[in-house]
Structure 1
Amino acid sequence: MSNLRSDVSDWWTTEIIDMVPGQIRFRGHPIQDLIGNVTFPQMIWLMTRGALPTDAQSKLLECALVAAVDHGPQAPSIATARMAVTCGLGLNGAMASAVNMLDDVHGGAGEQAVELYSWIDDAVQGGQDLAAATAEMIDLWQSKHTKFVPGFGHRFHKPEDPRAPRLLGLVDEAAKNGVVSGRFAEIGRSLQTTLNSRKGKAVPMNIDGATAVIYAELGFAGPLARGLFCLSRSVGVIAHAWEQMEQGGRNKGPTPPAYRWSYKGPNPI
């Protein structure tokens, strides 16, 4: 019986939560000690990283989370949430539908940017000049993945995404105070300079590139950067889904009914 019980209890193993009747501990911290003493960003850090961050680390993480909450109903994830509500889904269904849209193209650039930054950082740590490493890794990225450099360029915000300079300024301040190294901010700026030179025009660092600087500076792995973006964007998702519930509407598609798609198939003879 004891072996069977062990087989069952060891089916899942975790270092995240310990729970028995009357007791809940996260990473060894009793829940009653965390409630009222730990902020939500600190809790995110504790759960994903295993220890509590410093106040300064937590504040920088919070800045990244705040910056990425929403980008309007034209964003596929937000549009999906609003359409889902008009089809009868509740908030949980709308949120799930929206988060499922946050994949490699819409939502994955932050993770990809952390990966690219890490390539450049590894080259620099190995003794290569930053500008040369940046140029080489851009070429490598484009040969292995896509011509689009993650974290740079924006359809709407030209010549500058207003979120990026603010976030980089906060990283600079944190670096000055010894909270982070500042080297990923340098990498981000080096990418910006190289891309501007190659294109002959401004290629703005976007929200993914700026938050990726923060996540890399704070030591988050690339996949966690995507997860953190999903957490952040979920705030905008729930806000838009709730607003749509209050506005009403049934079966709203991506365009008003009077507008039709372009049909290019055969017609009856």
Structure 2
Amino acid sequence: MSGAEKKSGRELGEEWWQTAIIEMSPGIIRLRGYEIQDLIGRASFPAVVWLMLRGELPSEDQASLLGIALGAAVDHGPQAPSIAIARMAATCGVGINSVMASAINVLGDVHGGAGEQALSFYGDIAVAIDGGATLDGAVSARLDRFFVGEKDYVPGLGHRFHPIDPRAPRLLELTRAFAARGVVSGRFADIAEAIEADVARRKGRKIPLNIDGATAVIYGELGFPPPLTRGLFVLSRSVGILAHAWEQSQQSERNKGPLPREWLWAYTGTPPRPFPGEDDAGE
């Protein structure tokens, strides 16, 4: 008889959703081993995010830097598809949870995924440096492969609205300040700035770091793997989505579409034509 067959039905049931994250029974809630009442009032929200994802409490400085990154990307206005969708959904009579879900569901590779892509890119360069390459050599080699085989926007650089994304320089400045105190190493900041410089040399013009590239620097410095970078962006942008959903829900408009109703889309299809046989209908 196998070990699984020896287990009782209750044991099998308890193992069905086994988790190292939370322990809960009547009167008890523990997150990663910490009593919830001990965390309340002592651990900040960024610290609890860290604890839930990483299993241990961060230092105050680590939690502070994480909070800085989360706070920087909360909103970018109704021109961002996720925010526009939130506002449109709010005019359709659905609950605020449905509004938020509708918006969050469009945060994918194109809108919301650039931070993950940027950190993966940085990670490739970090691995090459660990293998003995120089910073400039590793950056150049990775960009060579990118422009030959991938031929797309370099992740983390450029912004369709901002010649210089006002969030990025401040985030890099703060990362450098935390690195100077030994909280982080600064290696991902070095990598991002070296990428920016190499691309400028190749293109003949500077394409500055954007919010995705800058927050990827911080998440990389703090040791988060690339897939979690996307999740952290979703967590951050959910704040803006909630704010816009609530604001729109307090207004009287109903069924608000992407354009004012006086403006209709440009039709590019077949010109008006008769239904087959229509000319013969009177004969």
Shorter chain as normaliser: what TM range?
over 0.9
The residue type equivalent to 2:221 in the other structure is E
Q: Which residue of 2 aligns with 1:58?
A: 63
SS of the residue corresponding to residue 155 of structure 1 reads coil
1:16 and 2:21 are equivalent in the alignment: yes
Q: Which residue of 1 aligns with 2:106?
A: 101
| Bigger Rg, which one | 2
Following TM superposition, by how much is the alpha carbon of 1:145 offset from its aligned partner in structure 2, in angstroms? 4.1
Of 253, 256, 259, which aligns to 2:257? 253
Over the aligned positions, Cα root-mean-square deviation in angstroms equals 1.3
The residue type equivalent to 2:136 in the other structure is A
Q: Which moved more, 1:146-155 or 1:74-83?
A: 146-155
Q: Please tell me whether the aligned partners of residues 81 and 237 of structure 1 are also in contact (alpha carbons under 8 angstroms).
A: yes
Q: Please tell me whether the aligned partners of residues 171 and 185 of structure 1 are also in contact (alpha carbons under 8 angstroms).
A: yes
SS of the residue corresponding to residue 269 of structure 2 reads coil
Q: Which residue of 2 aligns with 1:176?
A: 180
1:1-269 equivalent positions in 2, closer than 5 A: 3-158=8-163, 160-269=164-273
TM-score, structure 1 length as denominator? 0.97
Following TM superposition, by how much is the alpha carbon of 1:247 offset from its aligned partner in structure 2, in angstroms? 2.0
Following TM superposition, by how much is the alpha carbon of 1:202 offset from its aligned partner in structure 2, in angstroms? 2.0
Q: Which moved more, 1:36-45 or 1:124-133?
A: 124-133
The residue type equivalent to 1:233 in the other structure is R
Cα distance in 2 for partners of 1:97, 1:219 equals 30
Following TM superposition, by how much is the alpha carbon of 1:139 offset from its aligned partner in structure 2, in angstroms? 2.9
Following TM superposition, by how much is the alpha carbon of 1:138 offset from its aligned partner in structure 2, in angstroms? 2.0
- The aligned length equals 268
The residue type equivalent to 1:37 in the other structure is R
Cα distance in 2 for partners of 1:146, 1:19 equals 49
Q: Please tell me whether the aligned partners of residues 123 and 133 of structure 1 are also in contact (alpha carbons under 8 angstroms).
A: yes
Following TM superposition, by how much is the alpha carbon of 1:143 offset from its aligned partner in structure 2, in angstroms? 4.6
Following TM superposition, by how much is the alpha carbon of 1:258 offset from its aligned partner in structure 2, in angstroms? 1.3
Q: Please tell me whether the aligned partners of residues 142 and 148 of structure 1 are also in contact (alpha carbons under 8 angstroms).
A: no
Q: Quick one: structure 1 residues 15 and 103, their matched pair in 2 at CA, closer, same or farther if it must change by over 3 Å?
A: same
Residue by residue over 1:165-201, the C-alpha shift from the partner in whole angstroms, topping out at 9 and shown as x without a partner, is: 1000111011110000100000000011011122212
Following TM superposition, by how much is the alpha carbon of 1:239 offset from its aligned partner in structure 2, in angstroms? 0.4
Cα distance in 2 for partners of 1:175, 1:166 equals 14
The residue type equivalent to 2:96 in the other structure is L
Identity value in percent: 57
Following TM superposition, by how much is the alpha carbon of 1:110 offset from its aligned partner in structure 2, in angstroms? 0.4
Q: Which moved more, 1:26-35 or 1:244-253?
A: 244-253
Q: Which moved more, 1:70-79 or 1:239-248?
A: 239-248
Q: Which moved more, 1:176-185 or 1:130-139?
A: 130-139
SS of the residue corresponding to residue 89 of structure 1 reads coil
Following TM superposition, by how much is the alpha carbon of 1:248 offset from its aligned partner in structure 2, in angstroms? 2.4
Cα distance in 2 for partners of 1:6, 1:174 equals 47
Cα distance in 1 for partners of 2:262, 2:194 equals 47
SS of the residue corresponding to residue 10 of structure 1 reads helix
Moved over 3 A (4+): 141-146
Cα distance in 2 for partners of 1:234, 1:260 equals 30
SS of the residue corresponding to residue 250 of structure 2 reads helix
What are structure 1's unaligned runs of at least 5 residues?
none
